[in-house]
Amino acid sequence: MRQLADVYYEGIEENNEYEEIINIVTEACFKEEKLDNTDLYLSITLSDEAYIHKINKEIRDVDKPTDVLSFPMFQKEEIPKTKTGIEDVLGDIIICIPIVEKQAIEYSHSFKRELAYMLVHGFYHLMGYDHMTEEEKNVMREKEENILEKVKITE
């Protein structure tokens, strides 16, 4: 199977466990959204709070760290659904590992579940989904929970 995610690290040490979770979840996301027969892949950066804070300030003018940022490369209707012969990044996702750790404790579930959720959440933003209205939020949450159930990361 081809690699669906390139993983980078900013301010934290490389971690095989993180990459295993990322690979499992990314594969399920691509399969669910019928992108598994495309040339698309994800660029994922796992970071510390300082790095994501800097990016959040530069790009969104929000002067604080956040849990996840997503930067799509396509509009929703432009996402290729078949092979084009050219590898292309679906988008960039930055996940802040220290915030994932804190939120796992805050929400009383495992680090693995929180990391998987952040990845799925970021993925669906790349796919053009949002949560600005209650209706959008419900659609996005259903898709996210569906993926977590498929990969059996629910606690």
Give the dihedral sign, CA 36/94/73/136. Answer: positive
The reply to whether 155 falls in a domain is: no
Could you report how far apart the first and last alpha carbons of the chain are, in Å?
Answer: 28
The reply to whether 127 falls in a domain is: yes
The reply to whether 83 falls in a domain is: yes
CATH of the domain at 96: 3.40.390.30
pLDDT tens-place string over residues 44-61: 999 999 999 999 999 999
Q: What is the pLDDT of residue 1?
A: 60
The reply to whether 61 falls in a domain is: yes
pLDDT along the chain (155 residues), means of 10: 90 97 97 94 98 97 97 94 91 98 96 98 96 92 96 93
Domain count, the chain: 1
Which range of residues forms the domain containing residue 92?
Answer: 5-150
The reply to whether 45 falls in a domain is: yes
